[in-house]
Chains A and B, each alone.
Chain A
Amino acid sequence: MQRKSKAAFPLAVVIALCLLLSACGGSNNSGSSSESPASSGSAPAASGSSANDKEMELTLAFMGIGNMKEVGLVQEEISKITKAKINAAVKLMPIDIGAWTQQVNLLLAGNEPVDLLVTSSFFNYSSQVAKGQLLPLDDLLPKYAPTIQDTMEHAIFNSTKIGGKMYGVPSIRDTAADHGISVRKELMDKHGLTFDNVKAYADLDPIFQKIKDNEPGVYPLVQRSQTNGIANELVRGYIDYLGDTPGVLIIENQDLTVVNLYETQLYKDALQQARKWYQAGYIMPDAATTQEGNNSLIKAGKGFSYLSNMKPGFAAQETTVNGREMVTASIVPPISTSDSGTGFMISIPKNTQDADRAAQLLNLLYTDKDVANLIANGVEGKHYVNAGNGQIKAPEGGSDYVFNQWEVGNNSLAKVWEGMDPSIWEQTKEFNKNSTFSKALGFSFDSSPVKTEVAAVLNVNNQYKAGLESGTIDPSKLDEFVRKLKDAGLDKIVAEKQKQLDEWAQANNVQ
């Protein structure tokens, strides 16, 4: 009854007494928050690393999704190096992903020292910039980290600019994505199935049918999660979402016209396809509500395949995660979208104690082999052991430090795990380079002018998407869905997006 709902933020009407107190409390707050800009911002007199007299501890906040039990050990080792190089220790602050938005908001509302922060377009990057939570990096990077831009595609590096200024540095990872299917090898072999005839998604039918007929209890096609439905995967290879609000670009058109995805033929076809598969029994009946993800379903043997975005080395990665050997087929060639760069970046938040030092640590993450390896893989002996050939493997008894590399830094400097092709980073670079780039790469949509509509549209989305895209609900409901979206203000959002996109295109000379 007296549950504190973690979602509700009840507020009060101020009584005279409180106004008085709040004046004191409030001035504390605004006073202290105006201190930080003074110490951060574009470096005034300090030149290079000669200003590193003060020893300090820099905090790096990131999403602690893996196993963070021995993060303290890793932190110590990294600190040894950073103390020597930039006179600063490092504190690693893993934050649970389920609480990410809330905790980051709280952290930044106050004055707790956070010097480097993982940011992402999936976690309100543009709102963070609009609200002044992040510092611009344009002056800091050339001074302290001039080589970072050469570690990735220049287009990607520049894609984090908002209003002409850069607020984040993308992590080195697969920024492009091709789309296709991953299947269990043993079942493919068992039934003599191959991908030879698979050029489009519809060509998968015979494979699914074979599995359905011969493997009871195994679902030919499972979804990755509740919200990542089949239809979603079918269209994803062809569009640039321009953030996670409605209004997308069709990449092959290579134009700058924002369209409503739900009214396109592409989407309608995808829904039909998903529905067909659902009715044929290839998809689990409760796909839209199941709490099991694709990995656990494959592991338990309940699923046979899933659609997803892929990258070089994907099959090897999935084999490790699923505990079963997987093979993949790429159906849609690689693309890079507007949020390829901003998908995961590092930024310097306004709470930093010293922006110059933070920038130097940023530089180490991208240029120092040991630091990059420590944060990505952990401490040698404890979290990995040598597997020969310069590669590494898991130690006996498992490891208590599992980091998700793609979040942070220059992973191409880190050691490669056994099972992955040793040249994986070169392949990834090539992969990124040769993808089809969306024209809107570098555009970030600021949703605050239409935040009311976004909230409403989101609600409608939630009602229909999972059911429609898994094929559970008949596509005839699409009209109802679109109607409700429009009622909620979809067109306004699309119009606003187009407007911002046009402005951006003009400012950046993009045709």
Chain B
Amino acid sequence: MAKTGWAATFKKLKRYRALFIMMIPGLAYLVMNNYLPMFGVVIAFKDINYAKGILGSDWIGFKNFEYLFKTRDAFVITRNTILYNGSFIVLNTTFAIAVAILLNEVRNKLAARFYQSVILLPFLISMVIVGYLVLSMLSAESGYLNLNLLPMLGIEPISWYFEPKYWPYILTIVQLWKATGYLCVIFLAAIVGIDHEYYEAATIDGAGKWHQIRSITVPLIAPTITIMTLLAIGRIFYSDFGLFYQVPLNSGPLQPVTDVIDTYVYRGLMTLGDIGMSSAAGLYQSLVGFVLVLLSNYIVSRRNKENALF
């Protein structure tokens, strides 16, 4: 009984051996780059002593995790991280899809290419430079807003870097500005892959543009949307460090609204130099993301097995 099971399996594997061979370079790479370093997870639970080496250092249980939970700040940073990422996921996806769909509608090909290139540009600048550019807009003294725009609208100059209430909006806009082009490219590729026959058939049936978008375009790129969203959920505890640290110019009063897990960990690392603590933070972030993805993936696969990640 078992023997035939094994033999059959083996035969099957043999039949597909070409496919397996194709996967070798990629898998080998993942082993080297991702799986081998996983032994490092132990760092989060140890009090690393370099003289003893990583394996020889003492175990200290969850002490490295304490700073992420015990303090009041822990609540603030967790809340900030989740709220920002949550809204980013929703906004980015919606916006990017909308732009991709619109882009697909532009008849003039040259214009479409131009627009697409331009929208992608912000993605290319590093956040450090973006920080300077935002400063040029928001500087209390010489920023464009305070100097030119606000007076035109009859509003008093605002000390932007000291008023936390504007920053959730500022950061969201900056984030959208940067990420839309990138995501749009992905969604556009998916949209372009949709067979034109569907649209032709729909037009013959008398369906309007809006209707077509709702019932053809969006459903057919649903796999891509699902995947991008699932991935984003998996990274829900990670933040774009540059966005939250460099753009607000590390301004103290803004901290309650701009501090996220990553910035908190970074500051800790700079002072304490403790890689155990930063490893713990990383593990925490990964774990939460992992659980959330598993959950979401499960929900998705209940509805439509095809769209699930695995």
- Interaction A to B: yes
* A506 close to chain B: CB less than 8 A: no
| Alpha-carbon distance A12/B255, docked complex (angstroms) | 29
The verdict on A455 contacting B277 (CB below 8 Å), with A29-B55, A34-B53 known, is yes
The verdict on A455 contacting B271 (CB below 8 Å), with A9-B282, A488-B73 known, is yes
* A3 close to chain B: CB less than 8 A: yes
How far, in Å, is B35 (CB) from chain A's closest CB?
A: 5
Query: Which of B141, B162, B249 meets A291, CB within 8 Å?
Result: B249
| Alpha-carbon distance A131/B276, docked complex (angstroms) | 11
| Alpha-carbon distance A465/B252, docked complex (angstroms) | 7
Decide: B283 and A7 in contact? CB cutoff 8 A: no
* Nearest B residue (CB) for A127: B273
Contact with A along B268-281 (1 / 0, CB 8 A): 11111111011111
Decide: B38 and A14 in contact? CB cutoff 8 A: yes
* A295 close to chain B: CB less than 8 A: no
Decide: A458 and B50 in contact? CB cutoff 8 A: no
Decide: A26 and B275 in contact? CB cutoff 8 A: no
How far, in Å, is B293 (CB) from chain A's closest CB?
A: 13
Decide: A451 and B141 in contact? CB cutoff 8 A: no
The verdict on A14 contacting B268 (CB below 8 Å), with A5-B262, A101-B273, A455-B277 known, is no
Contact with A along B230-256 (1 / 0, CB 8 A): 001001001111100100011111011
Contacts of A466 in B (CB 8 A): 251-252
* B113-152 contacts to A (CB < 8 Å): 132, 135, 139-141
Pick out which of these stretches binds chain A: B39-47, B97-105, B188-196, B198-206: B39-47
| Alpha-carbon distance A12/B54, docked complex (angstroms) | 16
| Alpha-carbon distance A1/B269, docked complex (angstroms) | 23
| Alpha-carbon distance A393/B139, docked complex (angstroms) | 40
Query: Which of B252, B279, B287 meets A462, CB within 8 Å?
Result: B252
The verdict on A123 contacting B278 (CB below 8 Å), with A286-B139, A459-B73 known, is no
Contacts of A33 in B (CB 8 A): 50-54, 56
User: Count the B residues whose beta carbon is within 8 Å of the partner chain — how many?
Assistant: 79
Query: Which of A7, A467, A472 meets B265, CB within 8 Å?
Result: A7
Contacts of A5 in B (CB 8 A): 238-241, 262
How far, in Å, is B272 (CB) from chain A's closest CB?
A: 5
14 further A-B contacts with Cβ under 8 Å, apart from A33-B50, A286-B159, A456-B71, are: A5-B241, A8-B282, A12-B38, A22-B36, A33-B52, A33-B53, A33-B54, A34-B53, A34-B56, A127-B273, A452-B71, A456-B73, A462-B250, A462-B267
Decide: A459 and B264 in contact? CB cutoff 8 A: yes
Contacts of B270 in A (CB 8 A): 101
The verdict on A131 contacting B48 (CB below 8 Å), with A8-B282, A27-B55, A451-B67 known, is yes
Query: Which of A11, A15, A30, A472 meets B55, CB within 8 Å?
Result: A30
* Nearest B residue (CB) for A21: B36
How far, in Å, is A451 (CB) from chain B's closest CB?
A: 5
Q: Which 6 A-B pairs have the closest CB atoms?
A: A22-B39, A132-B51, A124-B273, A7-B266, A33-B53, A9-B282
Decide: B71 and A13 in contact? CB cutoff 8 A: no
Query: Which of A23, A286, A465 meets B141, CB within 8 Å?
Result: A286
Contacts of B35 in A (CB 8 A): 17-18, 21
| Alpha-carbon distance A124/B255, docked complex (angstroms) | 24
* A440 close to chain B: CB less than 8 A: no
| Alpha-carbon distance A128/B51, docked complex (angstroms) | 10
* A258 close to chain B: CB less than 8 A: no
Decide: B56 and A6 in contact? CB cutoff 8 A: no
* A228 close to chain B: CB less than 8 A: no
* Nearest A residue (CB) for B273: A124
| Alpha-carbon distance A488/B74, docked complex (angstroms) | 10
Query: Which of B55, B265, B275 meets A8, CB within 8 Å?
Result: B265
| Alpha-carbon distance A3/B240, docked complex (angstroms) | 7
| Alpha-carbon distance A291/B279, docked complex (angstroms) | 31
How far, in Å, is A207 (CB) from chain B's closest CB?
A: 23
Decide: B43 and A488 in contact? CB cutoff 8 A: no
* 22 residue pairs bridging A and B, Cβ less than 8 Å apart: A7-B265, A8-B262, A9-B275, A9-B278, A10-B286, A11-B38, A12-B40, A12-B283, A12-B286, A14-B39, A14-B41, A33-B50, A105-B273, A108-B50, A286-B161, A291-B132, A452-B63, A454-B272, A455-B264, A455-B268, A462-B250, A463-B253
The verdict on A132 contacting B50 (CB below 8 Å), with A10-B283, A26-B39 known, is yes
Contact with B along A97-133 (1 / 0, CB 8 A): 0000110010011000000000000011001101111
* A447 close to chain B: CB less than 8 A: yes
How far, in Å, is A304 (CB) from chain B's closest CB?
A: 17
The verdict on A10 contacting B273 (CB below 8 Å), with A34-B53, A284-B141, A467-B253 known, is no
Contact with A along B68-102 (1 / 0, CB 8 A): 00111100000000000000000000000000000
Give the interface SS of chain B, mostly helix, strand, loop or mixed.
helix
* A487 close to chain B: CB less than 8 A: yes
The verdict on A132 contacting B70 (CB below 8 Å), with A455-B272, A473-B253 known, is no
| Alpha-carbon distance A127/B277, docked complex (angstroms) | 13
The verdict on A488 contacting B72 (CB below 8 Å), with A7-B278, A286-B141, A451-B272 known, is yes
Interface centre among A7, A128, A288, A456 (most CB of B within 10 A): A7
| Alpha-carbon distance A452/B253, docked complex (angstroms) | 22
| Alpha-carbon distance A3/B140, docked complex (angstroms) | 30
Contacts of B274 in A (CB 8 A): 127, 448, 451
Contacts of B262 in A (CB 8 A): 5, 7-8
How far, in Å, is B120 (CB) from chain A's closest CB?
A: 13
Query: Which of A6, A448, A462 meets B255, CB within 8 Å?
Result: A462
Interface centre among A18, A108, A473 (most CB of B within 10 A): A18
* A49 close to chain B: CB less than 8 A: no
The verdict on A30 contacting B53 (CB below 8 Å), with A22-B39, A456-B73 known, is yes
Contacts of A102 in B (CB 8 A): 269
* A226 close to chain B: CB less than 8 A: yes
* A433 close to chain B: CB less than 8 A: no
Contacts of A241 in B (CB 8 A): none
Contact with B along A422-466 (1 / 0, CB 8 A): 000000000000000000000000011001111110111011111
| Alpha-carbon distance A132/B287, docked complex (angstroms) | 30
Decide: A22 and B140 in contact? CB cutoff 8 A: no
Decide: A105 and B275 in contact? CB cutoff 8 A: yes
Query: Which of A25, A127, A458, A462 meets B39, CB within 8 Å?
Result: A25
Decide: B265 and A463 in contact? CB cutoff 8 A: no
Contacts of B182 in A (CB 8 A): 1
Contacts of B139 in A (CB 8 A): 286
Query: Which of A13, A244, A472 meets B41, CB within 8 Å?
Result: A13
Contacts of A473 in B (CB 8 A): 162, 253
* B215 close to chain A: CB less than 8 A: no
Contacts of B225 in A (CB 8 A): none
The verdict on A458 contacting B267 (CB below 8 Å), with A9-B275, A26-B54, A27-B55 known, is yes
